[in-house]
Amino acid sequence: MQNGVNAYKKAAIQSTPQDKLLIMLYDHAIRYLKVAKDACATKDYEATNDNLLKAQDIVTELIVQLNMEYEVAQSLYRLYDYFRRRLIEANMQKNMKHVDEVIGHLTELRETWIQAALIIKQEGTNRGLSYAG
C-alpha cells in the first residue's frame, strides 16, 4: 500500500508545473520554520531540531535545482547558502531571530516568484517559469 501512495505522490509532483513546485517548496520551508519557532518557545528542542532540519533540506533542494547557466542563479545560490548557514546557527544556538530572518527572506522570494509567474501568464506565453532559482 505504501508503495502505491509513494508512486502517487511522485507522479503528482512530476506533473505539477515548475512554478507551483517552487512555491510549494517555499511554503513548506516557511511552515517548518514556524513550527520550529513554536517548538523552541515551548522548549521542545527535538521538534525544533527536526523542523529546522526539514527546512534546511528544502533550502538544499532549492540550491540543487538551480540552473547555473543563468546569472540570477548564482545570486540565488549565495542567498540560499546564507539561509542554510543561518538555520544551522539557529539550530545550534536555538536563536529564533535567525529563523525570523530566513522566514522574511523566503516569504519575499515566494512573493517575487508568484509575481513572475503572473507576468508570464499575462504575456500569454506557454513556456512556464524556468527555474533559475
Query: 55 lies in a domain?
Result: yes
Query: 24 lies in a domain?
Result: yes
Confidence at residue 8, expressed as pLDDT on a 0 to 100 scale: 44
First to last CA, the chain: 35
Residue from 128, 133, 132 nearest 18 by CA: 128
Query: 8 lies in a domain?
Result: no
Confidence at residue 100, expressed as pLDDT on a 0 to 100 scale: 98
Query: 130 lies in a domain?
Result: no
Domain count, the chain: 1
Angle, CA of 54, 55 and 56, to the nearest 5°: 90
Q: Do the beta carbons of residue 51 and residue 35 sit within 8 Å?
A: yes
Residue span of the structural domain in which 116 resides:
17-122
Query: 118 lies in a domain?
Result: yes
Q: pTM (2 decimals)?
A: 0.80
Query: 77 lies in a domain?
Result: yes
Residuewise pLDDT in 10s, the chain (133 residues)? 666 555 544 444 455 567 789 999 999 999 999 999 999 999 999 999 999 999 999 999 999 999 999 999 999 999 999 999 999 999 999 999 999 999 999 999 999 999 988 888 888 754 545 555 5
Query: 75 lies in a domain?
Result: yes
Q: Do the beta carbons of residue 117 and residue 101 sit within 8 Å?
A: no
Query: The CATH number of the domain where 80 resides is what?
Result: 1.20.120.340
